[in-house]
Every structure is written in C-alpha cells, then in structure tokens.
A and B are shown apart, each in its own frame.
Chain A
C-alpha cells in the first residue's frame, strides 16, 4: 500500500524552529518528485515547497523562502521540511504530497494525513 506519514508537528513559539518528516512506503521513493502543502485553519491549500528526484531542483513559495528548507533522504525513504524563524501565519496542517508520474505528472496523486504546526506564545 502506498503511504505517506508525516510527523514532527507541534506547538512552537514565534521565532522557533521545527523539522517535519514524511516517511514513505509502498513505492520507489527515489523515482518521485515531492511537495509540501499546508492548510491554515479554515483556509484553502497553500503550496509550500517542491523537490525533484535528485534534490537539485527545489522551489519555495515566497511566504517561506529563506526560512524553510526542503530535503530528501532516499536511503531512508523520507522527505523533510526544516522550518526556521516561524511566524504565527505558519500555523497550519502540513501535508507531504507525491507528484504523479506521466500522464499525471502535473498533479499530486498521493497525500499524507498531515501534521499540525501551531506557532504561538
């Protein structure tokens, strides 16, 4: 069964840091590009970051650029999101999502259950 399981969320003070992890199983992780997507309470989806299969192409939303770092460890079948200088507006459920393969390469075909990040003093 294809599965993505996020962890690492929690309550953190403004200015603090968290590292999210996404453990994958049921498919060959190294062959797939990945995303982090977040959803603030009562809001829509907001894309956060993308990483390609080699880790050489990475993109960030302007709202997190310079503060968040995406990475992957294919040996551990894991995706990561290092979040520094956290702000109240970063409060959200964070999902990892797999980019589909052709012909679904412009979609996110598998999502994790999400991990909640709350930034508050």
Chain B
C-alpha cells in the first residue's frame, strides 16, 4: 500500500492528452514539492518534473505538472507511442521523515 495514491492505469490515443493524479496528505505533498518520474519498459526511473511544475532540461514541454493542496497532477499532451511508460509521483514526508512514492500509473497509448 503506497502512501501516495495514483490510478493504476490510464490510456489515450496518439495525439490526445492525458492527466495522471497523485493524492497525498498534508505532511507530504501538502507541505513539500511533488516530483514525477518516467520509467520506460526495462529501464530505471528518470526525473520528469520537479518542484511540482518545473521541467528538467531534456523533458519535452508536452509534459506539465501542477499541485493543488495535497494532490499533484501530471499532464501529457500530444501523446506519442514513445510515452508508454509507468509514471511515478514522489514527495518528502515532513512528519515521517521519509520519501514516499505512489504505486505508479501505467500509460498506454492506444
């Protein structure tokens, strides 16, 4: 049981947009920044979004992040087949002094 809650899967057609939610609590997302990680099949996770909505160099601007209260959202527009991956959200929990992650969301581009 992950501390952060994500939908197990989402799907959309190429060219469409999709959003992935990440629900936490006041001690993690509510008090700290959310980050998102993309894990392509058979590879290690890669930082996609940091500080709720900032993109590291190399992340296409088709990806976006937002935060409201104790939840964070990852948005992807102009979906490509290469975006098929598992997306994980993460945050620091100030009360527990632990990093927490969601269970991961598998994106399928139909």
Asked whether, in the complex, the Cβ of B50 is within 8 Å of the Cβ of A45, the reply is no
Asked whether, in the complex, the Cβ of A103 is within 8 Å of the Cβ of B99, the reply is no
Residues in B with CB closer than 8 Å to A45 are 37, 45, 88, 90, 101, 104
The interface centre, meaning the residue of B2, B33, B44, B54 with most chain A CB atoms within 10 A of its CB, is B44
Asked whether, in the complex, the Cβ of B44 is within 8 Å of the Cβ of A50, the reply is no
The interface centre, meaning the residue of A37, A104, A107 with most chain B CB atoms within 10 A of its CB, is A107
CA A46 – CA B104 in complex, angstroms?
Answer: 11
Asked whether, in the complex, the Cβ of A107 is within 8 Å of the Cβ of B51, the reply is yes
Residues in B with CB closer than 8 Å to A114 are 44
The residues in B between 45 and 92 inclusive whose CB is less than 8 angstroms from any CB of A are: 45-47, 50-51, 54, 56, 88, 90-92
Number of A-B contacts (CB under 8 A): 72
CA A43 – CA B39 in complex, angstroms?
Answer: 12
A45-B45, A107-B35 in contact; A35/B50 too (CB < 8 A)?
A: no
A45-B90, A95-B44, A104-B50 in contact; A109/B56 too (CB < 8 A)?
A: yes
| Among A47, A50, A103, A111, contact of B46 (Cβ-Cβ < 8 Å) | A111
A59 within 8 A of B: yes
Give the bracket for the number of chain A residues in contact with chain B.
20 to 34
| Among B2, B54, B102, contact of A104 (Cβ-Cβ < 8 Å) | B54
Give the residue name and chain of the B residue nearest to A35 (CB): B99
Residues in B with CB closer than 8 Å to A46 are 101
CA A53 – CA B14 in complex, angstroms?
Answer: 44
| Among A95, A104, A113, contact of B56 (Cβ-Cβ < 8 Å) | A104
The residues in A between 17 and 72 inclusive whose CB is less than 8 angstroms from any CB of B are: 35, 37, 43-47, 50, 59, 61
CA A35 – CA B51 in complex, angstroms?
Answer: 18
From residue B16, how far is it (CB to closest CB) to chain A in Å?
A: 25
Apart from A100-B47, A107-B33, list 20 A-B contacts with CB within 8 A: A37-B99, A37-B101, A43-B103, A44-B2, A44-B101, A45-B37, A45-B101, A47-B101, A97-B45, A103-B54, A104-B35, A106-B32, A107-B47, A107-B50, A107-B90, A108-B35, A108-B47, A108-B90, A109-B47, A109-B50
